[in-house]
Structure 1
């Protein structure tokens, strides 16, 4: 049986965030990635920083991805800081969205960074704070 470091376990949760989002595995996101309530901040794209339930985050993303044929996140450059039963992870990431039927171009891309806070729960590490910092976007922003 292999043993994983705390850092490995934290990075695995972040990778699950992106893989489960891309595959729209909403139940897995709620059960394996997020705490029940998350301090959620995507204000760099508009909107407000607020406490949201994991269910509400997944419902929002599910609605946002409706009609999109494919979503692909690539993440890396993880900087991990562990403080007992809490940790912060910084990551670079790109998200490419593809919609074959879009008249003004089939793709849009978001390039930015994530500041994530995780807490160790009985079931494992979970994200309880999520901040996305967009650097720039390219392509057909509305996928119209």
Structure 2
């Protein structure tokens, strides 16, 4: 693994949180392969999802990032301690993540925070390293989960 690979993969992973918090959907789209696997079952239950990056960032698809995030006043995703491995054109990044979600609501605290780890698989493309898979493992939660449920229903 070259230092350049490590830096580019780390940058891609950190940019995901940065772009998500700024609702930069075009920036986010550019970080992923066309097909994306996501597994947030530790957080939400259900099943992992496979689909296109456009489905992940859709305004209408149930559980899409854009639909959920658009219903929130603010978020902050802190992605730290990124560990990188590379084998040829395939990379893996594991990291810690804390996500703070804010929405004023009549059902308690305006904040819901979760902490856990990301395990991401990346592929080297002509345009650089792109995320093709994200698995989130939950470590802890704090606050009012109604924040997210209300955000999802408000965006429906």
Q: Same fold (TM over 0.5)?
A: yes
Structure 2 equivalent of residue 44 of structure 1? 42
Picking from 80, 89, 105, the partner of 2:93 is: 89
Residue deviations 1:28-74 (CA, integer Å, cap 9, x gap):
1112x100001211111212113121111112111112331100011
Query: Normalising by the residue count of structure 2, what TM-score does the alignment of the two structures yield?
Result: 0.84
In the alignment, the residues of structure 2 paired with residue 7 and residue 27 of structure 1 have an alpha-carbon distance, to the nearest angstrom, of: 24
Aligned residues: 140
- 1:122 alignment partner in structure 2: 126
Matched, 1:98 2:102: yes
Q: How does 1:51-62 map to 2 (within 5 A)?
A: 51-59=50-58, 60-62=64-66
Q: 1 CA distance for matches of 2:49 and 2:87?
A: 24
SS in 2 for 1:56: helix
* Structure 1: unaligned runs, 5 residues or longer: none
Distance 1:129 1:14 in 2: 11
CA distance in structure 2 between the aligned counterparts of 1:109 and 1:51, rounded to whole angstroms:
25
Note if contact 2:116-2:139 (Cα within 8 Å) is conserved in structure 1: yes
| Cα displacement (A) at 1:102 | 4.7
Q: For 1:65, what is the secondary structure of its paired residue? A: helix
Structure 2 gap ranges (5+): 59-63, 151-156
Matches within 5 A, 1:1-144: 5-31=4-30, 33-45=31-43, 46-59=45-58, 60-143=64-147
Confirm or deny: 8 A CA contact 2:108 2:144 kept in the other structure: yes
* Structure 1 stretches of at least 4 aligned residues deviating more than 4 Å after TM superposition: none
Q: CA-atom RMSD, angstroms?
A: 1.4
In the alignment, the residues of structure 2 paired with residue 111 and residue 90 of structure 1 have an alpha-carbon distance, to the nearest angstrom, of 14
* Greater mean deviation of Cα atoms: 67-76 or 93-102: 93-102
